[in-house]
Amino acid sequence: MKITVIGTGYVGLVTGTCFSEMGNKVYCVDIDTSKIEHLKKGIIPIYEPDLEELVIKNYKNGDLNFTCNLKEGLNNSDICFIAVGTPMGEDGSADLQYVLSAAKEIGQIMSNDLIVVDKSTVPVGTAAKVKKVITEELGKRDVSYNVYVASNPEFLKEGSAVADFMQPDRVIVGSDNKCVIEIMKELYAPFIKNHEKFITMDICSAEMTKYAANAMLATRISFMNEMANICERVGADINNVREGIGSDGRIGYSFLYPGCGYGGSCLPKDVNALIKIADDYGYDSRILKEVELVNNKQKFSLVNKIMNRFGCDLSGYIFAVWGLAFKPGTDDMREAPSQVIIDRLIELGGKINVYDPKAMDIAKQHYFKDKSNIKFVSNKYEAVNNADAMIIVTEWKEFRNPDFYEITNRIKNKIIFDGRNQYNKDTLEKMGFEYHQIGNSQPRIYKQYSYINSVQGMPLEYFSK
């Protein structure tokens, strides 16, 4: 098929590339001329396993094209996917300006009947808005083309987006038109041999499904972090509790890992957007509000543990931070716990040595550009040189089984704060490490400090945003 994809971010670039991998003719369109020129040269703006190889291959064979000219794409397409950003607005809602702007330009340019597919994560009712905008623009041109708007939410995990697209758990299409559904089914046929994975429904339900899925995942994470915090107070071990409840077939193990909070471009944004949607319809979504509040507080859990160990004044202390990205397999630092942890430690007077396999450049250029007291190092062991403690923030594979004897020879104090519960506590304590986990009783009892209660002039409401 001939396809246009508007937007070359995580979703748009992966979508366009994977469709082209199956032999479709794809035009990826973006208003960022620099990004388009880089993509033509095989320079990928994001890190995603296998993506660069597929982009270069399909661009060279002519199935994948990059352009800033939407007309070039639409003139050669039967289907147009909208895959632009929907950032969180100040009130928590999804900002639809880029989606509606794309719809407007489609209406100004299209010269044949067209299927328009919302791939971006959008609130319920967006497809109707997109169709209205396109229809209005066609009316201004005094032309009449059939435009069919469908919803096809993405379920890609950063770090495995290509694999998720090529072998999806399910493909959801929301449409009230049987012909559109059949065309979408044909488009996705190479990806889903099991037809039960192709699920059709009304447009509103398809739009809602994406939000519901991410809200459920966020709820499981915050629930486990809530359980972890209770475990710390009653003397239980959350690692054992996770095994005990995960073995229940009704619950399972997925997204039951406690940690220092979730981040990224999806869960925080989508939970807040769903809260706002509920508010707009007069419903108080109390569970979702608590999910977000628990997560925001959880990002301070390691800071609190460090303060309990070293006190409120961290002047003169050096901390080795392993991990910047919000999860392994990506360089994405949006809403990452590392931002909160590093900012607060520096604010309390500490110095940071930090290493991440993929997110160093973006951290230097954007997130910690003007920060002092932070040193970016070339490998994980260099980070622990003369450090007073080591902090695990992202569970990269290369952090899972490090040489603890090498760490012992480099670190000043054999203290580890593990925000992802990567190691065996008994093993490390036998090696002489003081090992702090999430949801586990602490090695020693210290005076209990709380960052939230220690920062003067910082109301509790600040941490619930």
| Residues with a known catalytic role | 266
Contacts of 91 (CB under 8 A, 6+ apart): 276
The percent of the chain in helix, strand and coil, each rounded to the nearest 5, is: 45, 15, 40
3-state secondary structure of 43: coil
CA 121 to each of CA 91, 151, 210, 265: distance values in angstroms, whole numbers, following the listed order? 17, 9, 7, 11
CA 367 to each of CA 187, 234, 342, 358: distance values in angstroms, whole numbers, following the listed order? 39, 37, 10, 14
With 0-12 / 13-18 / 19 or more C-beta atoms within 10 angstroms meaning exposed / middle / buried, residue 18 is buried
Contact 302, 336 (CB under 8 A): no
> How many Å from the N-terminal Cα to the C-terminal Cα in the chain?
44
Least Cα distance to 362 among 259, 265, 267 occurs for 265
Distance (Å, whole) CA 204 – CA 123: 9
Hey, which residues does 88 pair with through a beta bridge? 94
CA 204 to each of CA 38, 46, 93, 290: distance values in angstroms, whole numbers, following the listed order? 37, 31, 17, 25
CA 231 to each of CA 258, 262, 441, 447, 459: distance values in angstroms, whole numbers, following the listed order? 11, 19, 8, 18, 27
CA 271 to each of CA 93, 219, 232, 275, 278: distance values in angstroms, whole numbers, following the listed order? 10, 9, 27, 6, 11
Tokens 């708007």 -> residue: 149
